Amino acid sequence: MEACLFCKIAAGEIPARIVYRSERVLAFEDIRPQAPHHILIIPREHYASLEEFPEDGGSLLAEVLLAARAIARERGISSSGYRIVLNTGRDSGRRSSTSTSISSAAGG
């Protein structure tokens, strides 16, 4: 099965503006930003939807949220606020794997 777009980014096969990287999580700027700060955060392992997450996958989900917090702090928007959206599954509007996006209307 061909890797999805996000897996290709995680593998370094497709270039992206990486803003955060850990052993299990990767974050990069959205190629079509809808806000001054628009970052996609993905587990490096492919999960087509939240349904595929193991029951004991809570620590990975927490790591995604903590990555969002770290990115927001780095960009100076942690106190002014931002929105976190979890996209999962075909009808979420995202064609690739499960992703979390962080966006802020402010310029930071």
Residues lying near Zn ion in the complex (CB under 5 A): 4, 6-7, 46, 97
Cα–chain center distance at 50: 13
How many other β-carbons are positioned within 10 Å of the β-carbon of residue 29? 14
* CB 8 to Zn ion: min, Å: 8
* CB 24 to Zn ion: min, Å: 14
* CB 86 to Zn ion: min, Å: 16
Backbone angles phi, psi at 89, to 5 degrees: 85, 165
Nearer to Zn ion, 28 or 82 (CB): 28
Nearer to Zn ion, 36 or 89 (CB): 89
- Whats the size of the chain, residue-wise? 108
Nearer to Zn ion, 12 or 36 (CB): 12
* Amino acid code (one letter) for 104: S
DSSP 52: G
